[in-house]
Every structure is written in C-alpha cells, then in structure tokens.
Structure 1
Amino acid sequence: MSGIEREIEREYGRRRTLSIVWWQAVVNVVIGGYLVLDASTNPYVSRRGAEIVVLALLLGKIVLVLLYRQRGRTIVGAQGIRARNAVRTVTRSWQDIYDIRAELNTGGRTENAEWATYVYGDDGRRTLLPYFDDWQLPDFHAELADLRDTAAQHRGMAWELRPEVEDRIRLRARHRMVSAAVLVTGLIAAAAAFVVMA
C-alpha cells in the first residue's frame, strides 16, 4: 500500500451528540399520541385509514432518523468516497468525482451544522457526506482543505472548474427547487383536503 493510499483512508461518523429541537419532539409526540388514541377509540372506520397512514409516516420518519444516527458515515478510501445514510450507500469513484464542496446548510439537511459537505459528480449530481460538517469536526474547513489536497493527489489531477459540469449542477439545483415547491404544494393540498373531508 502506497503512502497516498494510507493517507486517504478516513472515516467520518457522529462524534458529537445531535440535539433534538424540543418543539419538533413535542409536536411529534402530541400528533402520534392523538392519532393512536383517536384510531383506537374512534367508532368511524372511514377516518381510521388516513390516521393510520399519517401515523405510519410519522413512525417511518422517526425510524429513518434513528437509522441515520446509527449507520451514517462518510468513508474515504483508495477507490473513492462512500456516503452511507439511513438505508442506502452512494459510492463515487475518484474518476467520477468532479468536486468536493462545503455549502451553507440552508435546507437544514444536517442538524446544528452551519456548513454541510457535498461531493459532486461529472453528471452534476450531488451527494451529502454524512457527518462531514462544522458541528462534528472542530476544524472543519482545515479538514476539508486537507481532504481536497489528498484527494487531488490520489485522483492524479487538480480541482478545476468545467463550464459544462457547472451548467449541469445549476440545472439540477433548479430541478431540486421546483421539486421541493411541488412537494410543499401537494402537502398543503392534501392537508386541506383532509381537513375538508373530516
């Protein structure tokens, strides 16, 4: 094993505990408790289906959060970078990686962190690197710079901007924004329909 391969082997996992936003926990407990109570005591069978679906979604969210905290890792090795989250693992080989970037955590993808790290492929797709953020790493920006330097040596080329890949990244960012807007609109419409039908 060469010196470069030894240097590149890294694993980033949860080092600091993540605080749970108290009001989210209270809201989840209240909604879950209400749904369980109502589904078990409500004589109207027609309303139980919707309550069971909402309860299942709430429990599914809780299970995914717990799995992410248990399984989540960013693993850097000789073959590339693996981002392991709650249920799946995304592997990017060094030849497929276009860039590794720190971005402001505006979407709240990682709790307590101001900065999150993404790996971008030549196809413009981005993958969040679990626990590679300024909450888990005390000297986050230095660690990111060191990883980028070591990775550039390992992949055999410097990091350089390519306009065609930057265009793909911007296009995918627009698609994410449109998808999020459609999802929020759909959720609001479903909630309104649920209230009207109740």
Structure 2
Amino acid sequence: MGQDVHERGIEREYGRRRTFSVPWWQLALNVFIGGILILQATANPYVSSRRRYEIALLVVVLVRIVLDLLYRRRGRTIVGAQGITGREALRTADRTWHDVYDIRAELNPNGPFENAEWTTFAYGSDGRRMRLPYFDDWQLPDFHAELADLRAASAQHRGMAWELRPEVEDRIRRRTRDRKVWGVVCIAAVVALFAAFVFLT
C-alpha cells in the first residue's frame, strides 16, 4: 500500500483472493446434511408423514449451498469514479459517491463462522448499509491500510471530507437496533418451527 493515492487512482476491484472466507467444515456440513436428506427421501420405501418437512429442509439446505457457490463466483466490490458497487450471490447494490455517507470497518457479526475478523460496509445518508463483498481482513492482508487508501481516494470524488453528522448517526443506530430485533424474531421463529416439527410429528 505504499502507492500514492493520485498514482493509484480510484478504479479498483476486490474479489476472492484466498480460497474460503467461510470455513470448509461449514460447506461440508451443508453437503453432509443434504446427502442424508436425499438418501432418506429416496431410499425409504414408506411414505412418511414428515416427508414434506424433509423435502422442505432439503430445499433450504440445497439453496444455501447454491447461494454459497454463487457468492464465491460472483461476489465483488467494484469501485469507480461514479461510486461503489457490492455484487453478491443474486443481487447487486450500487451507491454513487454523493450517496455514500461513510465506509466503515466493523467486527464481523459472523465471526465464529468465518475467517474474517473485520468486514466493511458503505453507509448512506439514510442510515442504510451495504456490505462490500470480499473487502475484509481475510482477503486483504493489509486491510486497514487499504481501507484508509480507499477513503482518501474516494473523498476527492465525493467532493467533501469524511465527517460525522449526528442526524445520520442516529439513523444508523436506529437501523442497527431494528436489525437486531428482527434477527431475534427470526431466530425465535426458526426455533418454534423446529420444536413444532419435532413434537408434533
């Protein structure tokens, strides 16, 4: 990262440089569970009352595996003079530099399940955040220096320095709180469905 900001410029792309950002055992576990469900659904000659649940669970596991593979193939963070793009497994999100309020490194919420300790988000003035795929300390050995370099280069295209605004910080905190609440609700719903599946069948 010894290059001058003007010399390097703003155009850059961040993709997968190291083999896995998710530990290999997680993908292996998904494949193992999917294999057991396929065997159970196809080899059992008796139609089980739980068959539809097994098929639904199999579909969920297969979708997860496909999304992981698509993310490894398509995932990119693309930076240009117009703005920044985060391309994930299925969707692509864009923000122009005028709409970018801040670019922040944050501790990875999936820490125990991924190799990356830090990940990066681009925040808008509305408080919404956009994850920047593969912009993390697992893929970039000099992650914090790369982030500082990107912020310095993009400040020229934003036409303003990076500065905190209290009203935007309030929106970010509110959205963070809402995400946590929805996360707890989703986990409770999954646990309730699993309990219903176990005790009612």
TM-score where L is the length of structure 2: 0.91
Change (3 A) 1:138 1:94: same
Structure 1, unpaired ranges of 5+: none
Q: Which residue of 2 aligns with 1:142?
A: 145
Q: Displacement of 1:25 after TM fit?
A: 4.0
Q: Which residue of 1 aligns with 2:29?
A: 27
The percentage of aligned residue pairs carrying the same residue is 64
Contact residue 23 and residue 115 of structure 2 kept, 8 A: no
Q: Displacement of 1:49 after TM fit?
A: 0.9
1:125 to 106, 124, 128: 128
Identify the range of structure 1 (174-183 vs 107-116) with the bigger mean alpha-carbon deviation: 107-116
- Name the CA distance, whole Å, in 2 between partners of 1:57 and 1:27: 13
Aligned length: 196
Contact residue 21 and residue 116 of structure 2 kept, 8 A: no
- Name the CA distance, whole Å, in 1 between partners of 2:94 and 2:27: 33
Change (3 A) 1:116 1:174: same
Structure 2, unpaired ranges of 5+: none
- Name the CA distance, whole Å, in 2 between partners of 1:67 and 1:93: 25
- Name the CA distance, whole Å, in 2 between partners of 1:108 and 1:99: 22
- The aligned amino acid for 2:170 is D
Q: Which residue of 2 aligns with 1:14?
A: 16
Question: RMSD in angstroms over aligned alpha carbons?
Answer: 2.1
Alignment of 1:85-104 (within 5 A): 85-104=88-107
Contact residue 83 and residue 128 of structure 1 kept, 8 A: yes
Contact residue 110 and residue 116 of structure 1 kept, 8 A: no
- Name the CA distance, whole Å, in 2 between partners of 1:141 and 1:155: 20
Contact residue 14 and residue 69 of structure 1 kept, 8 A: yes
Q: Which residue of 1 aligns with 2:50?
A: 47
- Name the CA distance, whole Å, in 2 between partners of 1:146 and 1:110: 28
CA deviation digits over 1:61-82, x for unaligned, max 9?
A: 0000000000000000011000
- The aligned amino acid for 2:62 is L
TM-score where L is the length of structure 1: 0.92
- Name the CA distance, whole Å, in 1 between partners of 2:40 and 2:62: 16
Q: Does 1:67 find its partner at 2:76?
A: no
Q: Displacement of 1:20 after TM fit?
A: 5.0
SS at the partner of 1:136? coil
